[in-house]
Amino acid sequence: GQNIDQPTEMTATEGAIVQINCTYQTSGFNGLFWYQQHAGEAPTFLSYNVLDGLEEKGRFSSFLSRSKGYSYLLLKELQMKDSASYLCAAKDSNYQLIWGAGTKLIIKP
Amino acid sequence: SAVISQKPSRDICQRGTSLTIQCQVDSQVTMMFWYRQQPGQSLTLIATANQGSEATYESGFVIDKFPISRPNLTFSTLTVSNMSPEDSSIYLCSVGLAGDFGEQYFGPGTRLTVT
């Protein structure tokens, strides 16, 4: 079957760095997405990886290893506004998005 | 990107009634999706609604319960029929853009409570 695993919850300190991991098993693979979702709001697109390696976008970076079925989202210089759920989603061979359950990130002062 | 609006933003409905949720996009898009999200959980795809064809439903969702219309490239509706408390959830529409990534953009969601 198809499956996405990511930690349920993580806690980090303002100004620090946090890495949110995601492992996936899909029928075929056409890329991996990270979304941010603040409580009570819709998910917003953060990043996309289809090739191995690191994609950097400001304070956020996303990494992909296709051979390991693994990705991570790296958040630097954490701010209180980064408190949110982070959703990992893999696109399968039918270009369908398979969603993880999300990681709730709590930022403490 | 795309700007997506949904109506209503929230509603409280009686058991056994139906609610139609509207999704409007500010540009023409081929692919639209309807999701359900239970509190604290991830997104569950209900169906894919492409203009000019019947909606494609995921396992566990049927047309009689969740009829979908897609009359043009900027609009879609999802009806939640014969509601029960188990249908209480957030319903989200999203659109897939034929850009570099094919990422999806989401509407603000409709928070439904069935009593």
Structure tokens at B69: 């219309």
pLDDT above 80 (res A39): yes
For A42, the closest of B42, B44, B106 (CB atoms) is B106
* Predicted pLDDT at B54: 86
Write out chain A residues lying below 8 Å of B92, CB-based.
42-43
The pLDDT > 70 percentage for chain B reads 97
pLDDT above 70 (res B98): no
Question: Is the Cβ of B97 closer than 8 Å to some Cβ of chain A?
Answer: no
Q: Which residues contact B60 (CB under 8 A, 6 or more apart)?
A: none
- Alpha-carbon distance of B100 to B103, in angstroms, equals 8
Average pLDDT over residues A14-30: 95
Please, which residues bridge with residue B12 across strands?
Answer: B113
Dump pLDDT digits (tens) for B73-83.
Answer: 999 999 999 99
- Alpha-carbon distance of A12 to A109, in angstroms, equals 9
Question: Is the Cβ of A20 closer than 8 Å to some Cβ of chain B?
Answer: no
For A101, the closest of B42, B102, B103 (CB atoms) is B42
Dump pLDDT digits (tens) for B27-40.
Answer: 998 889 999 998 87
Q: Do A99 and B43 touch (CB under 8 A)?
A: yes
Pick from A6, A99, A103, A106 the residue to mutate for testing the B interface (most B CBs within 10 Å).
Answer: A99
Question: Is the Cβ of A44 closer than 8 Å to some Cβ of chain B?
Answer: yes
Is-contact A46 A105, C-beta < 8 A?
Answer: no
Average pLDDT over residues A102-109: 96
Dump pLDDT digits (tens) for A41-53.
Answer: 899 999 999 999 9
Which of A102-106, B29-33, B52-56, B100-104 has the highest mean predicted lDDT (pLDDT)? A102-106
pLDDT bracket for residue A78 (50, 70, 90): very high
Question: Is the Cβ of A2 closer than 8 Å to some Cβ of chain B?
Answer: no
pLDDT above 70 (res A103): yes
**What DSSP string describes A20-75?**
EEEEEE-SS---EEEEEE-TTS--EEEEEE-SSEEEEETTEEEEEETTTTEEEEEE
How many other β-carbons are positioned within 10 Å of the β-carbon of residue A69?
A: 18
Q: Do A91 and B42 touch (CB under 8 A)?
A: no
Question: Is the Cβ of A32 closer than 8 Å to some Cβ of chain B?
Answer: no
